[in-house]
Structure 1
Amino acid sequence: MKRSFIIILTGIAFITASCNKNMEVDVPSFQVSLDPARLVADTFTYRLGDTTRFIFSGSAGNIAFYSGESGKSYANRSVASRLGTVMLSFASKAEWGTQTNTLQVLATNKLASADSATVVNADWTDITSRGAIAVNATVVNSGNIDLTDLVSGADDSLFIAFKYSGVTGTTQRTWTITNFFVKNILPDQQYTVASLATDASYWLRYGNVWTPASARWTATASDLKIIGGGGTSPTNTSWIVSKPMYVGRIAPDVSTGIKSINEPDKEGHNYMYTAAGIYTATFVAFNHTLDEEKSVMREFIIKVIP
């Protein structure tokens, strides 16, 4: 009986040791070279239209390539927020009547909740005068309105509001807003933070008098619109407010897969840059299992001249 017990314990120990042993992974023996005739100092120089030929040697299970172009930079592979210049633009049109100062464009980064009292009493900055605005039925483009001063950093939010005021006694104006965009403009690329096409269902409406029923803002994928009432319609104040826009959020840069573990080793990779500039081209080669990954990085400075 004692011997059986010892055998069972020995078997359990062997199984445990086997389960704890991870599969070993080798560091890729991966190298990259370019035409040495192209090398000036530490930079490989090519003319626009040339094909950059990266020559491989060694072996790797997987290879990823970052060209260094906008959206394809190894340095930005994990970057989720970066604040550039926050720019608002839209077009406006004012129809019917002659009432003046009926539209205000407002912005804030402080909106604690979405109830009407909070919205109306928030610390709004009047940005109407920062851009051009219509005075009649002729469509006017606002131009680029810089709102960077209204946010405190890459993780801050921003709200845009259009506030309409119509006064009883004369025909109230009808306003139409089109081509609404908020963009985060960086030195190497730009991101659309908000647009009518993507945000039609997120606009919130507030007002103290909505008579007639049409005298309030509507939001579609093509415009924001408020139809003012006739001369006998009550005085009306109506707001439409954007979603919270996290102006610094960006998509991390991505690589292009050059080789997967199921493919044979490759001799190289050809790439053609489409614009003059200086790029950091990066290859990441890696071997992995479910338990472990080992990788190497090969990096080159590429200069493309006209």
Structure 2
Amino acid sequence: MKKSFLIFLAFAAAACSKKMQVDKPDFNVSPDPARQVADTFVYRLGDTTRFKFTGTVGNIAFYSGETGKRYDSRNTTYKLGKLTLSFSSKSEWGTQKNTLQVLATNKLTGYDSASVVNATWKDISSRGTLATNATVTAFGVADLTDLVAGASDSLFIAFKYSGVTGSTQRTWTITGWAVNNVLPDRTVPLSSFSADVAYWTRFGNVWNPANARWTPSATDLKINGGNAAAPSNTSWVMSKPLYVGRIAPDVSVGVKSINEPDKAEYTYVYPAPGVYRATFVAYNHTLDEDKSIIREFIIKVTP
């Protein structure tokens, strides 16, 4: 009885240790040979690029080679171009001056109010134009690249409001907020009101009513000033950390999944002239193993 039990355990262990095997993909792609000039396939804008398939494979993904759809950029990368800030502002009611500052830092040690207020902030108000009245005024496009150490750095941007008792305090509205990493081939958005409405953080001395503090929305930031009898008010609102050089992975289009029959071809229409590296990734996989094959072609689209 004991010997039989040991044999059973040996068979069970062998079964558990055996990996699920996967076959290497049998897959080839053929663009239209009539379009081939040397190592490039040439099409006119609006033409359909047609890729013929042969072989059997479980999954196929396609990277067109356009910005955001490149195989070589399929992983998160870091690259810093020109870091820009733009927004518009208006200032209503009262005549108090210098009630708004635009500040930036890459040296924030904590998120509590003391850490924020005591951080080493750079006043960047003079890098653009702030409103002086109720006319909406464009700040301009400010270059902030010098404020960060490199592509892996982060930056915080804040608005600091100061209102003084004794006269009507000003009401400020900020619209059109955008922070971008401008690269030669693309512009990577880092912050906008619609994307970051939930990520603004408020600090400072706040008096009642509650609208005397910064209020973020999907379209603007606003702070309402008090009347002449209102207490002095200092209020901050700060952006989320902006990872200045982080570029999200490029994405592919799923051409075939494992539960679909083999496909004879794939077609694609490029939306703009240019030279593109079209990449097909064919792969079979199990929980234990993954095998893939790559087919690439240079596609030139002329006007």
State the TM-score, normalized to the length of structure 1: 0.90
- 255-264 or 216-225, larger mean C-alpha shift: 216-225
Structure 1 letter corresponding to 2:288:
D
Report SS of the residue matched to 1:133. Answer: coil
For residues 93-104 of structure 1, what are the structure 2 equivalents within 5 Å?
Answer: 93-104=90-101
Q: Quick one: which of 44, 48, 65 aligns to 1:47?
A: 44
The residue that corresponds to 1:23 in the other structure is 20
The residue that corresponds to 2:156 in the other structure is 159
**Superposition deviation, residue 211 in structure 1:** 6.5
Structure 1 letter corresponding to 2:246:
R
The residue that corresponds to 1:184 in the other structure is 181
The residue that corresponds to 1:277 in the other structure is 274
The residue that corresponds to 2:122 in the other structure is 125
Q: Does 1:13 align with 2:10?
A: yes
Report SS of the residue matched to 1:75. Answer: helix
Alpha-carbon deviations, 1:76-108, whole Å to 9, x = none? 111254333322111100112222222111111
Counterpart-to-counterpart distance in 2, 1:15 and 1:264: 35
The residue that corresponds to 1:258 in the other structure is 255
Instruction: Note if contact 2:76-2:246 (Cα within 8 Å) is conserved in structure 1.
Output: no
**Superposition deviation, residue 212 in structure 1:** 6.6
**Superposition deviation, residue 134 in structure 1:** 0.9
Residue 15 to residue 234, structure 1, CA distance change in 2 (3 Å): closer
Aligned length: 303
Residue 234 to residue 299, structure 1, CA distance change in 2 (3 Å): same
Counterpart-to-counterpart distance in 1, 2:101 and 2:173: 13
Instruction: Note if contact 1:44-1:301 (Cα within 8 Å) is conserved in structure 2.
Output: yes
Gaps of 5+ in 2: none
- 151-160 or 275-284, larger mean C-alpha shift: 151-160
Counterpart-to-counterpart distance in 2, 1:118 and 1:299: 51
Give the share of equivalent positions with the same residue, in percent.
Answer: 65
Structure 2 letter corresponding to 1:255:
S
The CA RMSD over aligned residues, in Å, is 2.2
Q: Does 1:225 align with 2:229?
A: no
Structure 1 letter corresponding to 2:256:
K
Structure 2 letter corresponding to 1:48:
L
Report SS of the residue matched to 1:149. Answer: helix
Q: Does 1:290 align with 2:287?
A: yes
The residue that corresponds to 2:203 in the other structure is 206
Q: Does 1:139 align with 2:149?
A: no
The residue that corresponds to 1:107 in the other structure is 104
Report SS of the residue matched to 2:198. Answer: coil
**Superposition deviation, residue 305 in structure 1:** 1.0
Structure 2 letter corresponding to 1:292:
E
**Superposition deviation, residue 201 in structure 1:** 3.3
State the TM-score, normalized to the length of structure 2: 0.91
